[in-house]
Amino acid sequence: MEYELSLQCQERREVPVAPSSVHSLSFYTSQDSDEDVRQRLLKESSRSLLEVGANDVISGPHQTADGARRSVRHIDLCMRGEQQGQVGEQASNIGVYVPNDRSVVDRMLAHLHVEDPELVYVAELPVDLANASQQQNSLQHQGLQQCPFANIGTVRDALTWTFDLVSTPSSRFLRSLAAYAFNDDDIAALMTLQVAEAIYAERPHEHVTIADILDRFPSVRLSFAEFFQIVPPNSPRFYTVSSSRRLVADVVSITLGLCETDRLPLPRCSSYLAKLKQGETVRALFHRSSFVFPFHDYRPIMLISAGTGIAPFRAFLQDLEHEAATSPHGHRSAYLFYGCRNASVDFLYAEELQRARDSGVLEELHVAFSADSDHPKQYVQDALIDQSKLVVRHLLEDEGYIYVCGSQAMSRAVKKAIVAAIFRHPEYSDIAIATQVDAERVVAQKLAEHVIVTELW
């Protein structure tokens, strides 16, 4: 391979240049750090740390028609008082960070020649960056700033939580390593445009990491401070929060759908979360979303979902319960349409949904089962067609919101059902509905006005 890469480089000989340092790093030992550094480190260590209060199976392992093995877990994460105040009104998504394995971290400590993994660093972004493009391209603006220990931590903290050490390195990252290599063959190989493809072709059945690359090119020598400037940040995995902070202020819930096949194992974050035990901790941060309960007005809501798409609507129902207890008007009208396969297998939060209906929090609950011998085969869009008059009256006469959460395919079917319902009941429309195209225009307008709101995957 070295010979092939050298041939490819003969016509393209570039001198590698180390990337400009975006962050300025200062280092402190535990003995010479001052009180301010110690307090900042303590605050950062606890900023994103949440304790697992529960991790329960709510839909046991079962095989679906596509051959996949599926299950669903409900996870409660406990927040301390100061953390509750940091969560904004529109933070309905939670980003979970998966730590790098200790063995991977230890390999990187060796490659970076770190003598003291507990050395504390402080990373600062200079106020007078050279130019706007440098600022735009910095890791600070690629997600690093939100990562745990992005600004202060120990070297081991950063290699565990802040950086992505397990994803396959990009060609851009590999070429940046050339500036730190001393061997001409290594430099030539790393500067090749197709360096990533050539390296991975050597090991087609293996997952290659940054540590593997540094094993492959032993003349690459860089410090932790230099590595900090070029390594990609650890990207969080986002989940929709399935609990209301108004009703339960100190707990945030996640509804975790697990799906694996013989060819595709569980995703890394899903596997990590599924194994967490009560009392263990996870690092996560909250993010804004437009898919939130409409506290700003009192219009009725219709909720439509299938499978784990019920997650945000569990939170909505708790918001309705809180609204009923605190608003002088009581709670608004609410309807829920939910699609699942089997009542005994994946009717998620069945008791909570039925209790919401029985208590009047939900005006109507319509559940469609697609694979249950005790119920007629029906999908959620079929239930909408069955209740087409209710759907159109809610949307057009009552000017209510419609929230849709689920897969792209489910959303397309739901949109068609709403169009069909409007075409079937044109009497509720202020404009003439003579054709299906007219009905489609109404739905498009409601989507543009955010009266119909979607969260899809």
Q: Is residue 430 part of a domain?
A: yes
Q: What is the rounded distance in angstroms from the CA atom of residue 361 to the CA atom of residue 39?
A: 46
pLDDT at 197: 80
In this structure, the answer to whether residues 170 and 315 fall within a common structural domain is no
Residue from 255, 259, 252 nearest 285 by CA: 252
Q: Residue 180 pLDDT > 60, yes or no?
A: yes
pLDDT at 141: 45
In this structure, the answer to whether residues 338 and 213 fall within a common structural domain is no
Residue 387 in contact with residue 414, Cβ under 8 Å? no
> CATH code at 151?
1.20.990.10
Beta bridge pairs of residue 163: 233
120-124 β-sheet, strand order: 24-28, 120-124, 152-154
In this structure, the answer to whether residues 314 and 214 fall within a common structural domain is no
Q: Is residue 203 part of a domain?
A: yes
Can you list the positions of beta strands (E) in 34-119?
A: 49-63, 69-78, 93-97
Digit-coded pLDDT (tens) for 347-379: 999 999 999 999 999 999 999 999 888 899 999
In this structure, the answer to whether residues 134 and 34 fall within a common structural domain is yes
Q: Is residue 243 part of a domain?
A: no
In this structure, the answer to whether residues 196 and 306 fall within a common structural domain is no
In this structure, the answer to whether residues 313 and 185 fall within a common structural domain is no
- Measured in Å, how far apart are the chain's first and last C-alpha atoms? 41
Tally the domains of the chain. 2
In this structure, the answer to whether residues 216 and 310 fall within a common structural domain is no
pLDDT at 3: 45
Domain boundary among 230, 255, 274: 230
In this structure, the answer to whether residues 207 and 309 fall within a common structural domain is no
Q: Is residue 94 part of a domain?
A: no
Digit-coded pLDDT (tens) for 183-222: 999 998 898 867 778 778 877 778 889 999 999 999 999 9
pTM (two decimals)? 0.87
Amino acid present at 222: L
Q: Is residue 257 part of a domain?
A: no
Domain boundary among 230, 254, 281: 230
Q: Residue 409 pLDDT > 90, yes or no?
A: yes
Residue 418 in contact with residue 318, Cβ under 8 Å? no
Q: Is residue 159 part of a domain?
A: yes
Digit-coded pLDDT (tens) for 53-71: 999 999 998 887 777 899 9
Q: For 324-359, give one letter per residue: b (16+ CB within 10 A) or e.
A: eeeeeeebbbbbbbbbbbbeebbbbbeeebeebbee
Report the mean per-residue pLDDT for the chain: 89
In this structure, the answer to whether residues 335 and 214 fall within a common structural domain is no
In this structure, the answer to whether residues 317 and 194 fall within a common structural domain is no
Q: What is the rounded distance in angstroms from the CA atom of residue 397 to the CA atom of residue 391?
A: 10
- Is 149 strand, coil or helix? coil
Residue 192 in contact with residue 8, Cβ under 8 Å? yes
Q: What is the rounded distance in angstroms from the CA atom of residue 236 to the CA atom of residue 270?
A: 12
Q: What is the rounded distance in angstroms from the CA atom of residue 181 to the CA atom of residue 78?
A: 46
DSSP string, 331-348: PPPEEEEEEES-TTTS-T
In this structure, the answer to whether residues 213 and 327 fall within a common structural domain is no
Q: Is residue 289 part of a domain?
A: no
Instruction: Compute the average pLDDT of residues 211-234.
Output: 94
pLDDT band at 8 (very low <50, low <70, confident <90, very high): low
> CATH code at 307?
3.40.50.80
Range of the domain at 348: 301-456
Q: Residue 262 pLDDT > 80, yes or no?
A: no
In this structure, the answer to whether residues 217 and 305 fall within a common structural domain is no
Domain boundary among 184, 211, 230: 230
Residue from 419, 329, 323, 395 nearest 362 by CA: 323
Residue 162 in contact with residue 234, Cβ under 8 Å? yes
Beta bridge pairs of residue 257: 72
Q: Is residue 200 part of a domain?
A: yes
pLDDT at 100: 97
Looking at per-residue pLDDT, the higher value among 11 and 56 belongs to 56
Digit-coded pLDDT (tens) for 315-341: 999 999 999 999 888 889 999 999 999
DSSP for residue 98: P
